[in-house]
Structure 1
Amino acid sequence: MSELRPPARQPVDDPRHGRLAARPRPPGSPAPAGLLPLSAPDGGLLAMVYAPEPAAAGAAYRLVLLLHGAGGSARQGLELLLPVADAHHLLLVAPQAVASSWDLIAGGFGVDVRRIDGLLATVFDGYPVRDVTFGGFSDGASYALSLGLTNGELVDAVLAFSPGFAAPLVTHGRPRIFVSHGVDDRVLPIDVCSRRLVPHLHDLGYEVAYEEFPGGHEIPAPIRQSATTWLTTAP
């Protein structure tokens, strides 16, 4: 599904609609820098977090929630921007999907939304955060778009690497969007995915930066750098 339609109405805010309640706030229990695994209540992996060393004068981070592709891992999500995190003071938060992919892919917002909401609340309690970005690859890109457009008053930017679709049940705010896609992608073919999705986003009034590249279902280093430059340059 690559078509995005404006919702006919805005239902009451609810996790079943993809709505998130967590918001940045002054940290209550400062958390350490470095690579940190977070455990879920059942003992499994909830997420991987990477926090660069605090900047001079305690400058706040840009938090980037990074969502892995189908069958992927939190560590793979983290790797999407780990090479550039220190240079750009990015606080990376990479959740692990409960199933092989995200709840929306399997039929509707649910358990992953609730886990992400609690995860964000925990991270906001530990780190000073100024801006929030959602990003992902493949199924994770589709989920980042859907969840980001649903929560645009929290999320100011979305990074979608090789997405298949966007399917928010409600929309709030107008986050800016970066989309990239390989012209030879055989997993999520560009003609039925980004080449349809991006014009729909434009038609709905979103600011979209779009880059195609020679290659398949991947994120080449120049695309990562282009996305990072776009993200960290004031709009």
Structure 2
Amino acid sequence: MESVERKDMVTNRDIYDVGRLTARPDTEAKKADFKRGVQRLGLDDQKDGFLYVPDTYSQDKPAALAVMLHGAGAPAEQGLSLLQRYADAHNMILIAPASREYSWDIIASDAFGADVIFIDQALEQAFSRYHIDPTRIAIGGFSDGASYGLCLGLTNGDLFTHLLAFSPGFAYTITTAGEPDVFISHGIKDAVLPVDPCSRRIVAQLQRRGLQVNYQEFNGAHEVPELIRRSGVDWFTGNNGSESRLTGND
């Protein structure tokens, strides 16, 4: 299998060190040999990840794409499970990579690096094989995956149009680009990543930057309730607004 340290990727080391991604959608991509359903990325022997292509996908209709990231210590399947049940109805391709270590590089190693390269490879693969709508490209996840999704999403807002962060802990960037819309949810009873120093602080920071934030608190713990998942998908796929709002506090 292809290694995460592929030579043409290593030549972009300085770019990856600040969290920048190089892959971009090919609006003319219409390959005849594409597959539907769940499939392995095939980019690493030990820690790989998954791609999901909906049954409804057609090369004649550009699909939305979401990169969904797992929490610390969880498998790549967790990222896939966040939105998979909605993918067919919304013509949404999902990428669910596995982190190189127990969590994402900026958390496990205190620096951008191997995970940026791996995600760039996964995006390059999807962009070359599938017809992707450039106005509907998201990154996000749950817990550490949500934090890392914000980090890469804000760094690459000229690629990602939407960020979906379920119970994040922080958002760190060395450089930023673009102005992606942001969806953040958090349980008010979360004992793992308490809402006040985490999402409430993040939302205030993003709003000061002038970003559009759809913020939803709910009466729950460190989790992603089904109602929140549906709300995030509706927001991402254009069935909802992107204004800031709070829900489920009673």
Q: Same fold (TM over 0.5)?
A: yes
> Partners in 2 of 1:56 and 1:50 — Cα distance?
14
Shift of 1:50: 0.6
| 1:49 alignment partner in structure 2 | 51
Any unmatched runs of 5+ in structure 2? 1-12, 242-250
Report how far residue 45 of structure 1 moved: 3.7
Structure with the bigger RCO (C-alpha within 8 Å, sep 6+) is: 1
1:138 to 136, 143, 147: 143
Query: Offset at 1:223?
Result: 0.5
Counterpart pick for 2:95 among 93, 96, 108: 93
- Report SS of the residue matched to 1:109: coil
Among candidates 77, 83, 89, match of residue 85 of structure 2: 83
Q: Is the 8 A contact 1:85 1:91 kept in 2?
A: yes
Question: Offset of 1:28 from its aligned partner?
Answer: 6.3
What are the Cα deviations for residues 29-78 of structure 1, in whole angstroms up to 9, with x where unaligned? 4421111012234x124211110134467101111000000001111100
2:107 maps to amino acid? I
Output the CA distance in 1 between the equivalents of 2:36 and 2:58: 14
* Structure 2 residue aligned with 1:158: 163
Alpha-carbon separation, structure 1, partners of 2:218 and 2:56: 35
Give a deviation string over 1:174-205, Cα, whole Å, max 9, x none.
Answer: 00000000000000000110111101110011
Unaligned runs of 5+ in 1: 1-11
1:12-91 correspondence runs (5 A)? 14-25=15-26, 26-27=28-29, 29=31, 30-41=33-44, 43-55=45-57, 58-91=60-93
Q: Describe the SS at the equivalent of 2:152.
A: helix
> C-alpha separation between the residues in 1 aligned to 2:172 and 2:234?
27
Report if the CA contact (8 A) 1:37-1:45 is conserved: no
Q: 1:212 to 1:197 in 2, by over 3 A?
A: same
Residue identity opposite 1:33 in structure 2: R
SS state at 2:89 partner: helix
Q: Is 1:115–2:127 an aligned residue pair?
A: no
1:232 to partner: Cα distance: 1.1
Which secondary structure state, in structure 2, belongs to the residue aligned with residue 184 of structure 1? coil
Q: 1:129 aligns with which of 127, 132, 135?
A: 132
What letter matches 1:71 in structure 2?
Answer: G
Preserved CA contact (<8 Å) 1:39 1:45: no
